[in-house]
Amino acid sequence: MSHRGVPGGRSPGPTRCSPGPARRASRWRLLPAAACPAALACLLAACGSQQPVTSGTRAAGDSVASPAALRSPDPATASPTPSPAPTAAAKPLAGITVGIDPGHNGLNGTDPSYINHIIWNGRENETCDTTGTQTAGGYTEARYNFNVARYLRAALRADGAHVVMTRPDNNGVGPCVDRRAQILNHSGAQVAIDIHADGGPAWGRGFTVLEPVADGPNDQVIGSSEQFGADVRAALLAHTSMPVSDYYGSHGVQFRNDLAGLNLTTVPKVLIESGNMVNATDAALLTSPRFQRQFAAALLAAILQFLHK
């Protein structure tokens, strides 16, 4: 996602966005190493290259775990009562629903009349969606967003979560940004993440966490969204080589009041601009499957930290 009208000489991109009021998040916390379970290690070891199953359903075997070993009774004192059946070890996200919105869609550019129609974003009019940005080599933001979402979805399911995504693939148009917010609001999600990449000035590097500003619908989740944003920031610094942005926001955080996904949310949520696709160094990372898995692993760590304090 690119922006225009941002102070600091940012170059315009294909996406219509403008900055909201900026202020620093009140505190940053370091992410404990214990917050990262086996699924995170699996992502970092590149096992996330397997294709996850269709969105909205649990992966086969999600509830299966190794049974606890039972102690053999002393034959002299053994009771005739049968031993209870072993129980499966609980997964850290069992019973939890997580929402993922991979920004844009792969065919948005084929239907300008649809993506340019006007919706209400909670404060003002906004276009339904945009095409997103891309690297100099033509690698699209929509493709990056969906790849990271797939890796994250697989890791969340491995930890027992139910995952709801706003689009099932990268071969369609839309949905509009207000509809994406509704999907996640109605999903029962305890937390949600909007995944994007930026189209900033060629000299600029780094990620920015976009956080909501209170405007009515989102009033009850402002504090929790800020806390989740701090967890995302800390996890990205701990688990990836992407620095905080040197051209957008303050210390890697930007508050926005002009984006439907943040204005309309009733779920704790932030939007992550993963890096600058126009910058050659960031682009080399963003287009790398290894980095995409690392980024998904960092988001998993942030979600675990947020949900299990």
List the catalytic residues: 273
| Residue 260 backbone class (left: φ over 0; alpha: ψ -120 to 50; beta: rest) | alpha
Distances (CA, A) of 201 to 5, 7, 94, 115: 12, 12, 42, 25
Pairing label, strands 191-198, 208-212? unpaired
DSSP-based three-state secondary structure for 244 = strand
Residue type, 20: G
How far apart are the C-alpha atoms of 211 and 270, rounded to whole Å?
A: 5
How far apart are the C-alpha atoms of 65 and 176, rounded to whole Å?
A: 39
How far apart are the C-alpha atoms of 197 and 22, rounded to whole Å?
A: 19
Q: Are 128 and 119 in contact (CB under 8 A)?
A: yes
